[in-house]
Structure 1
Amino acid sequence: MKKSIRLRACAFARISAPALSMLSLAVAASAQAQGIEINPVVISATRMEQPLSEVLSSVSVITRQDIDKSQAASLADLLQGEAGFEFGRSGGPGSVTSFFLRGQESKNVVVLIDGVRSQTDGIGSVTLTDFPLSQIERVEVLRGNAGALYGEAAIGGVINVITRAGKGTPKAYGAATLGSRQTTELSAGYGGQLDDTRFDFNAGASGAAGFSVINADKNAIANPDRDAYRNQYAGAKVDQKIDATLRVGVRANLKNSVVDYDDAYALNQSDTHQFQIKADTVGAYVNKRFTDDWLTNFDVYSASYTYDAMKNGVVAANGHYQGHADVFRWTNTYAVSDATSLNFGLERSEENFQQRSTYDMKRDTTAYFAGLSSKVGRWNFQANARRDELTVDRTASASALKKDYADNTQLLGLGYQITPAWRLTSTVSTAFRAPAANDLVGTYGNPNLMPETHRAQEAGAVYSVNQALLRVVYFETRTQNTIAYDAQYKPQNTGEMRNKGYEFTARAEVLGNQVKSALVFQDPWNVTSNSLPGRRAKQYGSLDVSRWLAGHEVGVKFAGASDRSNFGGPADLAGYTTWAFYASRKIDLDWTARVKLENAFHRNYELAGGYNTPGRGLFATLQYQPK
């Protein structure tokens, strides 16, 4: 199920002599090649373990080794160029960031942390798009409609972040980074297993002096000072084996960040603006095996966030936002036979949203789900069904409102193994998204909103051998009752959105080169307004090639996207390409030196209209990771 290969020999894309000299100075003597996983095990696609080559939906996996090699500054930067994934950002790492999957709106994506749904805010946006990479073991990106597995709003897909877990002899690990724009990051952890106890503790801090995030050529009133970013975080995970059938555990994550930003509508150029953000989650879980065939899991967790929008050092008018969620999840897997497995369970979440006495709302969700995966000869089958029931309640307020929503969603998948290397796949599915709490109330609220409904289908082919895994997928999606904002910023059911296109993904060893690539051709379109949706390209992708050369792992990553529209309409955001060059060298068995030259050709591009993006930057990392 897990196939590894060894990286050998070398060749590296040409870079300038000064940059190459800096790489050579940053890294030291001989190294051994590390294996990569061509066909890792995936959980997100069915809620059960499967080899990536057998998954019927379209999935990508980013491993811990990929994370280390990328030297990415944030989760968005790590995922940039992945098939199906696009993002908008108002500045550099730490700035307000929106994730788009399969051309869908940013509210139509679900982020999971260790399989548990991440918190959203009162407008339905994911609150945790800036998860510290040092805490992550791997990331699974499930593209396309996953509503039948993960519920309301899982329309564009799911990003499942799996955090580090203790294994093997307890060891310390950590990394220190210095770089352009006064970037610093220091992270450290300690994890492993002692007898029947597994644990991992980690903490870190990062920051940068940054740059002025608003383009002064387009907005002369913007404050031209640098907009800095500071972040502190900590995480813990501990579980204990009680007996051969029972394991219990607890986990927690804390994160505080301060982000300077420029207000595009500021009245005074000297005004300073800042977001102060706090987010924390704490939970417990129980894994119980009732029989050899039946495994059950209970998860309970509580999550909170606060946003304070500061102006000149004080909280701006109506600038305080907060939310709290309590979640219970019960999931089961049952092996009917060696070739057939069931999963079933229920989820319950209770959410509260507040904004300094402007509103106080509750949003409760109860869901029931079941799924089947089976293999018969050369055929693979998947079937999932789910029912979500939601209540949005503001009855405690003077302007009372209570709305109930419910929907049933389904997914059917079929695969056929043509030869040992080639497999055909297909899925059809439905999904929905209910209005967010803030969409319904207040000056800009609309209590008459209906849920979005979504239908999708895709067909693909997978080629899998020891040294390569390639996938091509054709997909079509269609959304009815799309929720969008009119000229008065009031949400409306505006009509129909659709998207269709092709995705190509590959992970392989070719002539000693480790190659990872993705390419997407899509046609996202607002049928009702006859316009492009905001910040989504018709073509985008990436190519990452690396190999070993004289004891160094050296590589180059290219990422690019075509023209996009900023808010929907004309394509007013120009296409862009960026190049990054990187290298690493093992100092000894535990220490690795890494260096990266990002945006090497200093491209000036936008991910959100009027906002700058980071220019050329050089970053060096010293990593301690015992084997």
Structure 2
Amino acid sequence: MKNRTLRARSALPVLSILSLALSASVQAQTVEINPMVISAARLPQPLSDVLPSVSVITRQEIEKSQSPTLADLLQGEAGFEFGRNGGPGAQTSYFLRGQNSTNVVVLVDGVRSQTDSGGNLTLTDMPLALIERIEVLRGNAGALYGEAAVGGVINIYTRQFKGDPVPFGSITLGARNTVDMNAGYAGTLSDYNFNVMAGKTSTDGFSAMNSTINAAVNPDKDGHTSVYASAKVDKKISSALSVGLRVRTMQSKTDYDRGYGPSEYDLRGDLPADEHKSKKDVDSFGAFVRKVVSDQWVTTLDLSTSKTTYKELTTYLEPFLNFDSSQYNSKQDAIHWSNQYQFTEKFAGNFGLDLVDDLHEQKDSFQLRRKTLGAYAGLTQRFDQLTVQVNLRHDQIDIDRNDSGAIKKANSNATTSLLGLGYQLTPTWKLTVSTSTGFKAPSAYDISTNPLVNSENYQSQEAGVIYATGQTVGRLVYFATHTDNAIGYNTHYDAENIGKTQNKGFEASLRTLWLGNSVKLTYVDQNPWNVTDSSPLDRRAHRYGSFEMSRPIASYEVGAKIHGSSARTEFGSQLAGYALMSVYASRKLSDTWIARVRLENLTNQRYELAGGYNTPGRGLFATLQYSPK
């Protein structure tokens, strides 16, 4: 920042705050109570000023938690639930604000992650070693991020470093023969900022399905292996212009159970029951140009391409052969043009275009091309005690599907909006209220069964209160979302707009420093309901929450986390409620070395996140981390 010209300095209140928000030091020793947030308005704001409900997970918190997966890290965040068909690498569904798993958007460095032909996220297992921070935006964000952002947005920013180039890395050993190791080299060299890293995770796992419930299940261990590499570099061309490149590749292999008994490919009948494997490759490349156009205007053009290949395999034992029973390919090309304009100190705006071209194909089955063009604009204005946020967006989605020569076309148009108001009652208390709309376009599968099926349209309302001091930020929110044309399926499994769903309830979150303790508390009381069938929505609890507390003791930092959930329904059956407790500790061995230990599921609780599927029991894990300043 010292080398910026006076013009660039005055030009970048937005850009400099953005840099601070994304550059949290790995070595920070204090918890950010009121961090900067970008996702809620596509503009940088302190968490206490944000009108929509947001939570932030920093790099320090990721390392402290020692969570094994992204889903486990997010578990306990207000508004977030997940289902998983087994252990790491297994099919995972994210639920935000009680909405369907297809009604959530995941962004990585501002780029929307891919979905499959059913609208399900393909990126739910991103290695935590790659992540710098996460913003979880809860509630209907269609006016900011377009289609499917009805439940909210999980915004992931990958690792970045500034300062002299340094090596870094860690290795974790633990239960179920788990090995997790990563290493990298990053920093600033002349006008370049760069980060190069790679890693590998492997575990023997456990049987994905419960053989005592389903006798056809193979009770062998279902392991998982993931290998990944990432590189980022950006160059400062001048005080007003910078460019950057990023590349990421991930390959994973996962064993899983289907519970169908002997494989459908076992023609001889002498293979072990239920032995299946999946393989997934994800490759992405991106480039950006950021320009300071004037003292108030910053513009960014981002280009990206990504490809996902998924295969399911069955293994013959004699002789050993691999048989591709299913292969799914998807490719996404995207152009994002975003702009931030600071009219005055209290008045800011943003506008931009999103162009996404998705190609999906199932081997010997179908090919689908989906093109999305979205245009958006937003304004945020502060008038003394009153804050106003207005967002408007229009999306055009065109779909062409080829089912073995049968061409089916569909298109969706939607204009979505958000109006939010905040009123500062006192220096510590603020009231908020908002109303918003959103939509979910039909999936490739939906179009294949009924090209005339329409998009789901959602309406949402929120009202809340925020309490903020230098040591505490707390939020209590009432929320309600409903739709009258949810996509359902008839007896022939054809998609139809026959559903009416709603969810409403209360959500509380608190972050505070109390008597030397760092405390996080969340609680949700909701009613995700299928009005049409008069039944609860599957895999979503009426009540859930978490409590986490940690503190430094001498040269150690120790902490504990408790997460609990009430019972959930699934296809008419019941998944029992559960409570999980984990404890963790870390110790600085030197200025560059940190030792960590975590004991997960302390009470060895048996519970289900999906009916008939096992979950991890008690496990002890130890980490040695090299993290120079």
| Shorter-normalised TM range | over 0.9
Partner of 1:503: 507
Q: Which amino acid aligns with 2:363?
A: R
C-alpha distance in structure 2 between counterparts of 1:372 and 1:316, whole Å: 54
2:273 aligned residue: 270
Cα distance in 1 for residues equivalent to 2:135 and 2:623: 25
Unaligned runs of 5+ in 2: 1-16, 22-26, 264-271
Matched, 1:232 2:227: yes
> What is the distance in 2 between the residues matched to 1:467 and 1:236?
36
Q: How does 1:38-437 map to 2 (within 5 A)?
A: 38-267=33-262, 269-312=272-315, 319-394=326-401, 398-437=405-444
Q: Which amino acid letter does the alignment assign opposite residue 261 of structure 2?
A: A
1:526 aligns with 2:521: no
Instruction: Provide the secondary structure at the position in 1 that maps to 2:535.
Output: coil
CA RMSD of aligned residues (A): 1.6
Query: What amino acid is aligned across from residue 432 of structure 2 in structure 1?
Result: T
Q: Aligned partners of 1:143 and 1:315: how far apart in 2?
A: 43
- Conserved? CA contact 1:91–1:213, under 8 Å: yes
Q: Secondary structure at the match of 1:481?
A: strand
Alignment match of 2:554 (pick from 550, 555, 563): 550
Counterpart AA for 2:78: A
Higher relative contact order (CA 8 A, sep 6+): 1
Are 1:559 and 2:563 an aligned pair?
A: yes
Any idea what SS the aligned residue of 1:221 has? Answer: coil
* Aligned counterpart, 2:7: none
Displacement of 1:626: 1.1
Structure 1 counterpart of 2:593, one-letter code: W
Mapped contact 1:318–1:358 kept (Cα < 8 A): no
Alpha-carbon separation, structure 2, partners of 1:339 and 1:92: 48
Quote how far apart the aligned CAs of 1:396 are: 8.9
Shift of 1:318: 5.2
Instruction: Give the drift of 1:235.
Output: 0.7
What SS is found at the alignment partner of 2:604? Answer: coil
In the superposition, relative to structure 1, how do residues 458 and 316 fare at CA in structure 2: closer, same or farther (>3 Å)?
A: farther
Give the whole-Å Cα distance in 1 for the aligned partners of 2:542 and 2:489: 23
Contact 1:583 1:596 (C-alpha < 8 Å) held by counterparts: yes
Secondary structure of 1:528's counterpart equals coil
SS of residue paired to 1:547: strand
Query: Residues of 2 paired with 1:246 and 1:586: CA distance?
Result: 39
What CA distance in whole angstroms lies between the structure 1 residues aligned with 2:363 and 2:232? 34
1:396-451 deviation per Cα after TM superposition (whole angstroms, max 9, x unaligned): 9621111111010000000011111111111100000110112211xxx2222111
Moved more, 141-150 or 304-313: 304-313
Match of 2:470 in 1: 466
Q: Could you tell me whether the CA contact under 8 Å between 2:311 and 2:325 is conserved in 1?
A: no
Deviations 1:176-229 (CA, angstroms, capped at 9, x unpaired): 000000000110111111121111111100010001010011111101110000
> Residue 617 of structure 2 aligns with which residue?
615
> For this pair of structures, how many residues does the alignment match?
594
Give the direction of change, closer, same or farther, for the CA distance of 1:550–1:165 in structure 2 (3 Å limit): closer
Amino acid of the structure 2 residue aligned with 1:98: S
- Structure 2 contact 488–499 (Cα < 8 Å) conserved: no
Contact 2:214 2:259 in 1 (8 A): yes
Secondary structure of 2:569's aligned partner: coil
* Paired amino acid for 1:452: E
Paired amino acid for 1:112: L
Cα contact 2:142–2:148 (8 A) shared by 1: yes
Partner in structure 2 of residue 604 of structure 1? 606
**Structure 1 CA distance for aligned equivalents of residues 402 and 541 of structure 2:** 42
Q: Deviations over 1:307-339 (max 9, x none)?
A: 101112666675111100100010101111111
Structure 1: gaps spanning 5 or more residues: 4-31
Residue 480 of structure 2: which of 476, 481, 498 is its match? 476
**Inter-partner Cα distance in structure 2 for 1:111 and 1:486:** 30
Instruction: Tell me the distance in 2 between the aligned counterparts of 1:229 and 1:485.
Output: 34
